[in-house]
Amino acid sequence: MAEYAREELLACTVARLIGEAAHVAVGAASPIPATACALLLAQGRPLRVSLLHKRAGNPFTEGSRELFDLAGQGRIDVFFLGAAQIDGRANVNLVRAGGRRFPGSFGSAFMYFAARRTILFREEHSPRVLVPKVDFVSAPGVSAAGVWRRGGPQALLTGMALFRWQAERTRFRLESAHPGHDSAEIRARTGFDYDLAEPLASTPTPSAGELALLRGPVAREIAGNYPEFARRVWGRVAPV
Amino acid sequence: MAEYAREELLACTVARLIGEAAHVAVGAASPIPATACALLLAQGRPLRVSLLHKRAGNPFTEGSRELFDLAGQGRIDVFFLGAAQIDGRANVNLVRAGGRRFPGSFGSAFMYFAARRTILFREEHSPRVLVPKVDFVSAPGVSAAGVWRRGGPQALLTGMALFRWQAERTRFRLESAHPGHDSAEIRARTGFDYDLAEPLASTPTPSAGELALLRGPVAREIAGNYPEFARRVWGRVAPV
Amino acid sequence: MADLAANAPRFLADAQAIAAQVPDGAFVALPPDYSLVAAEVVRALVRRRARGLRLLGVPVLGYGADLLIGAGCVESVETSAVSLGEAGPAPRFTEAVESGALRVVDSTCPMVHTGLQATEKGVPFMPLRGVIGSDLVTERSDWKVIQNPLTSEPDPIVLAAAIEPDIALFHARWADRSGNVWIGRRRELATIAHASRRTYVTYEELRDGDMLEDELLAPGVLSSVYVTAAAPAARGAWPLGVVDLYAIDDAHLAHYGRVARTREGFERYLEEFVWRSTRERNSSPAPSHA
Amino acid sequence: MADLAANAPRFLADAQAIAAQVPDGAFVALPPDYSLVAAEVVRALVRRRARGLRLLGVPVLGYGADLLIGAGCVESVETSAVSLGEAGPAPRFTEAVESGALRVVDSTCPMVHTGLQATEKGVPFMPLRGVIGSDLVTERSDWKVIQNPLTSEPDPIVLAAAIEPDIALFHARWADRSGNVWIGRRRELATIAHASRRTYVTYEELRDGDMLEDELLAPGVLSSVYVTAAAPAARGAWPLGVVDLYAIDDAHLAHYGRVARTREGFERYLEEFVWRSTRERNSSPAPSHA
């Protein structure tokens, strides 16, 4: 089995979650989702990727409003959300908890409703992040009947595991553990309750082909918009 | 007294009505208001003129929405409205009357409220145009208490006379007759009731200085956007 | 009308191929005469005998709409006005309305923009100041006057319902190989495209490279994300204009405004300028009839 | 704050002169770090010891806001987030909120845009989809959830109140002698300017001619009608970037993100990069601290 960085496993997993989609949007400070999209493009998928914070050749011409308008029009298939806290109802908190202040909700309170699917992504897998109930709902995972909502959570990916969202049960189901992690550890590190798939699968690791793309064209592409990340994972420096 | 075209008298009168203003907007098919603005600019007034249908060097960069947004923001001081029918309450009709169809309301139903002042302008002075009550209200001259309204009618200029709007009385007052017309003729040709200023003044005629500007720089400017009009009044052909 | 997202750029052969994509009965948004009308597609729609089109003027209509109306392609128009500007009233529109052949949904310019902006943002309505007291409000069952919910003072305000065109149709200065089109400062075209389920664009010239990668060009670009398909049409706006390339053909429009006053004159005009081949129009300088 | 319309173009000497126009207590709209922040004016505001500023992030805030907050210039922020992006959380913001020194009016990006678009159109509110069920709604007394007035089906929808900044403040690539500024595809700057009572802009270079007369440049121009005053500031966005001219100084931002975690580190940073003369900053290549 090829050696790989955890970020590479996560990017490949995100790429699989994206699956068939016409238009994926990536928001602020999301190097792994951006890497996943770059991987799909490098694989020749006819995917449109809108990076909100792309520094050069930004796809938008209406400024930072355009991403939200696109989503409002129903043109965004997949979006990503990270959060300081995520609970078992797929609520996300990006504002505050226990006296700590986080950056803020960004576009979550809208995008979580307007994008067709949202992939929740947070590397830290701990009871501090995955809580029974978020201290502040930046955006709810579930909406009452009659409330307009085009889409919602698809999955929750952490540094340890992949959970699928079950819309009909409004609960997560543990789908796979990343290599090196097991069911008991995940249960101990997860503050909310969830369903189990038995037996628990192992998250597929990156193939040699995926790794070759990641370390070649994808790394070059990502270094432009996420220089710190590219340096850490691939030892790459941003092009000037 | 210098010889002058009726259009020149009207443009000079419109220029006086504009008076002190920072920003004047001119809508569709309004060569005489446009001429008045060009005259003020040629006189060195620090006036901003936005021509909705300026063909080259259009002032807007947000497309045809920008004029209305500007007015909504309170940035338009003076606007012009023509109409198929105008009544004594300063209502305007640009839609239909007596089986006849007119082009339509354009932006009147908004601009008449949002611009700080509106000058009503119609060359034809007849009982067919100046009616007791319009058949269709494209935009009302007067609004009920509590209805948001930043501005309203300032005056009504026709090919025969100038009426001032009296906001407190919600009626027009005949202010002056153009040379060659008198009080009785105006009364006979006006379908609505109005107040009289006694004695009736004569509308001032263009000065030699005004005529020189009109026939020089103003005619050149206007020929670009209103080629038919410029040819008719000044025998000018549009620059290519 | 299902598809919203266009992904890979799609190019069609010519204006006729675009016209074939516009089904009878479609709700088609058109720009005003001064803003990049796809006149060549309009002629192709007449030739393919399109029927039942519902036109939306953003915010007004002119020559192109009058042609379609006269040729019997149009069931209704929603617009703030139909006019030929300096060339006078739109003769076929006027005749069709006065004879009862055409339904008009009357609007006022900013209400059209507002209704499209609502769709652009994905909301069902958007408010606008003014308008109250206009008979337009009484006629428009899709507008509603409500009390401003944010104040306890009396403050009526009108809401425009979201306007959702099936098709946006216009002309552009350039397209590039990525399927982006350059519309310059004619931002109403962007709004139309954002709000429409499908967008068809004819263009003067194909440009190499990706215009979105060029910071100077990008502000005037409509991204291919909104473009369903594009097709070349040199002088495709004629007798209307494309800024910096060719001016509006005033003499031709004045000619049209005169001859189209009668049904017979209009038919002769169609014969001369529409039924004859498109290629002839495109390859030779546009004739003027003063 | 009375004046809306600027007529004759007004030029000021430098960023310091712009900072002098921003009164204590003003409600100031700022763009995000990736969109032409007038960083030189931010430093000048720190130097003039501005107090009580209320910042609006359109839709988020970053380096510039963190500097103002740390220097004690800010009473409150209304924003969707404050962050240094890849350089991590905004340290002075985080500290000020956690210590109770700074009031935050939390928002979400499209609600900021929507509130500004309301002012841009001159309406008191504008609706947005989503948001319902977020605790943001409970905290924002200026937002209101209503039943969609256009349907009889249950359909709650949230209204954003119009946001009316006193001052829009940003940087631009060019200004011309007519007072127009070129903002390229950063249209949020146009929205901010449209919605604000006064707009102050610093620019990299003065360009001859009227950019609105140039069809290629015009789509990226903000007309002087919205510009209260402009002033030159070469490298005026540093350590943030101006596309095609200089990139964001990642190493410097990372340095800031580290040292500003402590009050002492922040004070040293201010001493080094703000209290020392502006001229020094502008005339020499910007230093990087990796």
The answer, for D199 touching chain C at a CB cutoff of 8 Å, is: no
Pairwise CA distance, residues C146 & A160, whole Å? 52
How many whole angstroms separate alpha carbon D4 and alpha carbon B77?
11
Sign (positive or negative) of CA dihedral D255, D30, D115, D120:
negative
The pLDDT of residue B58: 64
| pLDDT value of position C284 | 47
- Chosen from D178, D223, D226, D227 to mutate, greatest number of chain B CBs within 10 A: D223
The backbone region for C56, taken as left when phi is positive above 0, alpha when psi lies in -120 to 50, beta otherwise, is beta
Across chain A, mean pLDDT equals 93
- Asked whether the beta carbons of residue C150 and residue D123 sit closer than 8 angstroms, the reply is no
What is the pLDDT averaged over residues A101-126? 97
Question: What is C15-107+164-280's CATH number?
Answer: 3.40.1080.10
Tell me the angle at which helices A6-18 and A31-42 cross, rounded to the nearest 10 degrees. Answer: 60
Query: Rounded to a whole number, what is the distance in Å from the CA of A193 to chain C's nearest CA?
Result: 35
Out of C130, C132, C191, whose CB is closest to B114? C130
Of C59, C117, C134, the CB nearest to B140: C134
Averaged over B6-32, what is the pLDDT?
Answer: 92
Q: Is A23 on the interface with C (CB under 8 A)?
A: yes
Three-state SS letters, chain D:
CCCCCCCCCCECCCHHHHHCCCCCCCEEEECCCCCCCCHHHHHHHHHCCCCCEEEEECCCECHHHHHHHHCCCEEEEEECCEECHHHCECHHHHHHHHCCCCEEEECCHHHHHHHHHHHHHCCCEEEECCCCCCHHHHHCCCCEEEECCCCCCCCEEEEEECCCCCEEEEEEEEEECCCCEECCCCHHHHHHHHHCCEEEEEEEEEECCCHHHCCCCHHHEECHHHCCEEEECCCCCCCCCECCCECCCHHHHHHHHHHCCCHHHHHHHHHHHHHCCHHHHHHCCCCCCC
Q: Where are the domains of chain B?
A: 6-234
Interface check for C135 against chain B (CB to CB < 8 A): the answer is yes
Percent of chain B scoring above 90 in pLDDT? 82
| Chain B residues lying within 8 Å of D223, measured CB to CB | 59-61
- What pLDDT is attached to residue D1? 41
Residue D2 has pLDDT above 50, yes or no: no
Q: Is D280 on the interface with C (CB under 8 A)?
A: no
Which of A18-27, A115-124, B229-238 is least confident? B229-238
Put simply, whether B62 touches C (Cβ < 8 Å) is yes
Q: Which residues of chain C are modeled with pLDDT < 50?
A: 1-2, 4-6, 279, 282-290
CATH of domain A6-234: 3.40.1080.10
Each domain of chain D, given as residue ranges in start order, spans: 15-107+164-280, 125-161
Paired with A164 in beta bridges are: A155, A173
Q: What is the mean pLDDT of residues D178-202?
A: 96
Task: Give the C-alpha separation, C207 to C203, whole Å.
Answer: 10
Q: Mean pLDDT, to the nearest integer, of B202-219?
A: 96
* pLDDT digit string, tens, across residues B72-115: 999 999 999 999 999 999 999 999 999 999 999 999 999 999 99
Q: Which of C58, C106, C117 sits opposite B104 (nearest CB)?
A: C106
What is the predicted pLDDT for the residue at D290?
38
pLDDT band, residue B50 (cuts 50/70/90): confident
The reported pLDDT for the residue numbered B60 is: 80
- Record: contact D4-B69, CB cut-off 8 A: no
Beta-bridged to residue C38, according to DSSP, are none
- Whether D119 has its CB under 8 Å from any CB of chain B: the answer is yes
Question: A97 pLDDT band (50/70/90 cuts)?
Answer: very high
Q: Using a CB-CB distance cutoff of 8 angstroms, which residues of chain A are in contact with residue D100? A: none
What is the mean predicted confidence (pLDDT) over A123-148? Answer: 97
In a mutagenesis test of the A interface, which of C194, C211, C216 is the best target, namely the one with the most A β-carbons within 10 Å?
C194
Query: Smallest Cβ distance to A99: which of D90, D98, D153?
Result: D98
pLDDT score recorded for residue C289: 44
Answer yes or no: is pLDDT of A192 > 60.
yes
Give residue A106's pLDDT.
95
Cβ pair D25, D243 in contact under 8 A: no
Instruction: For residues A129-156, give the mean pLDDT.
Output: 98
Q: How far is the C-alpha of C259 from the C-alpha of B136, rounded, in Å?
A: 30
| Position D230 pLDDT exceeds 90 | yes
Instruction: Pick the more confident residue, C1 or D20.
Output: D20
pLDDT of D288 reads 46
Its pTM stands at 0.94
- Residues B176-203 have pLDDT tens digits of 999 999 999 999 999 999 999 888 999 9
Is residue D9 pLDDT above 80, yes or no?
no
Top pLDDT among D202 and D276 is at D202
> CA nearest C278: which of C43, C50, C11?
C43
| Mean pLDDT (whole number) for D236-262 | 95
For the segment D139-149, the average pLDDT, to the nearest whole number, is: 97
* A63 vs D contacts (CB less than 8 Å): 35, 185-191
Q: For residue D34, give the nearest of D58, D53, D16 by alpha carbon.
A: D58
Residues of C whose CB is below 8 A from B68: 109-110, 113
Cα–Cα distance measured from residue A18 to residue B203, given in angstroms and rounded to the nearest whole number: 74
Provide the mean pLDDT of chain D: 93
DSSP string, A113-169: HHSSEEEEEES--STTTEESS-SS-SB-SS--TTS--S-EEEEEEESSEEEEEETTT
Cα–Cα distance, C124 to C121 (Å, whole number): 9
**Which residues of chain C does A57 touch, with a Cβ-Cβ cutoff of 8 Å?**
210, 212-213
Whether the CB of C5 is below 8 Å from some CB of chain A: the reply is yes
Q: ipTM, 2 decimals?
A: 0.94
**What is the pLDDT averaged over residues A48-56?**
76
A209, two tokens: 């082909």
Least confident of A15-24, A42-51, A180-189, C187-196: A42-51
- Decide: residue C161, CB within 10 A, 0-12 exposed, 13-18 middle, 19+ buried: buried
Question: Residue D285: pLDDT band by 50, 70, 90 thresholds?
Answer: very low
Name the least confident of A88-102, B2-16, D5-19. Answer: D5-19
Q: What is the pLDDT of residue D5?
A: 45
Rounded to 5 degrees, φ, ψ at B111 are -60, -30
